Amino acid sequence: MQNRDKLYINGKWITPSGRNTIDVINSATEEVMGRIPEGDDRDANAAVAAARAAFDSWSTTAPAERGAYLQKIKDGLKARSDELAQTIAGEVGMPIKLAGPIQVGSPIANFGYYAKLATTFEWEQTAGNSRILREPVGVVVCITPWNYPLHQIAAKVAAAMAAGCTVVLKPSEVAPLNAFILAEVIDAAGVPAGVFNLVSGTGPVAGEALVRHADVDMVSFTGSTRAGKRISEVAAATVKRVALELGGKSAAIILDDADLAAAVKGTVNACFLNSGQTCSAHTRMLVPESRYEEAAKIAADIARTFTVGDPISSGAKLGPLASGAQRERVRSYISRGIEEGAELLCGGPDAPADLPRGYYVQPTVFGRVKPDSTIAQEEIFGPVLSIITYRDEDEAVRIANGTLYGLAGAVWAGSDERAQQIARRLRTGQVDINGGAFNLFAPFGGYKQSGRGREMGPWGMEEFLEYKSLQFKVPKSQ
């Protein structure tokens, strides 16, 4: 068991102010796999003070030197990749064969990317008689989720540090152990004291104390839309910059000339990845009315191949959900779908028969789902796919755009050209064309209530930068 009894503040592992702790539960066994401190406002204040004190020096450190530290962090994470994969598979439930390349490989790649970008980025440019500078925004609080815990930490922390910001990280209390490993790696890399600080705890206590702190210049948050609204309210009192990556209810539109088998398989895979605990999951599959029966059969058959089991010791394709609360939430949505008259094609609210322990949910597919029904409008965050029919392209676009969200989506068609025509009409931050793969270095973020701002690539670092214009007097011509 990983028993963490200290917080990482100002370059040291220190005893937290309070005595309370939080148990970290293994999602497959429901047993305690670790314990972390429950930080409070005093710990938050100490972390912010450390970050503020370190900012002047770090912000003026040469970008290439900042990049060298990030490269050391990348190398340190890579050296502990097996340990991280095991830890995150236990915390979140993603099968180990996927947790390695996705949950660990992505953050390693992100630290490496920002290590290079820090040295190649155009920090200054000229516009007329002005010199335009890009400077770090200041002290940044990063509040991260449990579904892709280290990936989301890296997307924020690596970009912010490359930009010259100092950071206080508050990871999700559901999956925090990987963040402590990262802190050890950062400490071993010799990053100057105060540049990175780790405070564990709950959102209402440690999280809110960090967000409201007057010495914090920016908050970068990934999580639920409800929590994002609360953070915006608290941050508004001090006019902080706020970046939000929130919920999604992404639609995959399958046009009448698409390769139906490939499109349905790709959609089911995109829906069920990480047991559906993916904000950009394609949870609504839109198909022409004339092809519904065929699409429904293919989807149900593919869903049944997603064997459910222990993410560590079995060859399962689908692991458990991350927590008991999440399991009950998903099961309640499945029951709601049945109550509202959707056609249950496979799965259901009952636990898998051979898995009495663990936060498991059956992979579930609903057909004949009404576009305005609960399961078609609200984010479920589990392995639940809704199949919705449409009569023509205009209706498909209206349905796809007809939620509060706009994070991701997909279009499947007989040609990329036709798919792009539809994709350009979707109010969403990313659209996969005929199965296009996720690009770790393209901008990621959403429209509408899916958030504000972008992560990944140079756009992710620019979120942490300010503009400054230096105006020079132009000599009078002779």
Active site residues: 245, 279
Q: How many C-beta atoms lie closer than 10 Å to residue 104's C-beta? A: 26
- Angle in degrees, CA 335, 336, 342, rounded to 5: 95
Residue 287, strand partner residues: 389
Task: Quote the DSSP letter at residue 223.
Answer: S
Residue type, 318: L
- Enumerate residues 6+ apart whose C-beta is below 8 A from 140: 156, 160, 165, 166, 167, 168, 216, 217, 218, 219, 220, 464
Residue type, 373: S
Distance of CA 51 to the CA centre of its chain: 24
Distance of CA 148 to the CA centre of its chain: 6
- Enumerate residues 6+ apart whose C-beta is below 8 A from 288: 254, 255, 256, 389, 390, 391
Q: Whole-angstrom Cα distance, residue 11 to residue 190?
A: 9
Report how far apart, in Å, the C-alpha atoms of 345 and of each of 282, 302, 304, 368, 435 are: 17, 11, 10, 10, 24
CB-based contact 145:88 (threshold 8 Å)? no
Q: Whole-angstrom Cα distance, residue 264 to residue 270?
A: 10
